[in-house]
A and B are shown apart, each in its own frame.
Chain A
C-alpha cells in the first residue's frame, strides 16, 4: 500500500528550529517528486517546497532561506528542516507525492500531516 506518514511536529518558540520527517512506503521517494504543503488553522492549502527526483529543490517565497527539504534514500524518508520559525509558520504540514507531467506537477498521495505550533 502506498502511504506517507509525517512526524516531528510540536510546539516551538519563535526563532526556533524543527525537523519534520515523512516516511514513505509502497514506492521510492528518490524516484519521485516529493512536496510539502501546509495548512494554517482555518486557512487554505499553501505549497511549501518540492524536491525533484534529480535532487533540485524549490521553495515558496514565504519560507525561502529558512526551510530546507531533503531526503534519505536509505530510509525512504523525506525531511523538512525548518529554522527561524515564526508564528505564521503555525500549521499542519503534509507531505505529498508529486507526479510530474508536461510543465506541471500534481500531488496524488498525501500524508495525514503533522502539526507545528510556533508560540512563546
Chain B
C-alpha cells in the first residue's frame, strides 16, 4: 500500500514561514490534500488538489506538489496555527483506499 511520510514536528517563530513536507513515491502524480487538527477538535480541510483552498481558509496557507514531495507552506505564522497537520492521498490503484501521512505537529515558538 502507498506510504506518506511526514516529519513528526516542525517549529517556527511567529511571523516566519513554516514548511511541512509529505513524501511519497512519485507523489507528484497524485492529488494531495491537507488537514489541520487542533487538540480535541475534528480535522479541517485546509488544502485540496495540491494547492486549492476551501472558502474561509486564509491565503497564508498554500500547497505545492512535485516529484516525490508535497509541501504545505504557512506564511506569517500565528500562534493560532499551532496544530497537527496531515497530508492525504487516495490510492485508487489498489483497492480504493484513503492514505494519511503520520502527521506533523507544528509548534509556534
Contacts and interface: CB of A to CB of B under 8 A. Distances in A.
A complexed with B: yes
Contact of A47 (B41, B84, B98): B98
Interface residues of A, number: 27
Given A50-B98, A58-B95, A107 B103 contact: no
A58 B89 contact: no
B92 A110 contact: no
A47 B49 CA distance: 18
A104 to B, nearest CB: 4
A113 B39 CA distance: 13
A87 interface: no
Given A58-B97, A101-B31, A106 B45 contact: yes
Contacts of A107: 33, 35, 43, 45, 88
B102 interface: yes
Contact of B103 (A45, A58, A102): A45
Interface string B12-50: 000000000000000000110101010001111100110
Interface of A: 35, 37, 44-47, 50, 56, 58-61, 94, 96, 99, 101-108, 110-113
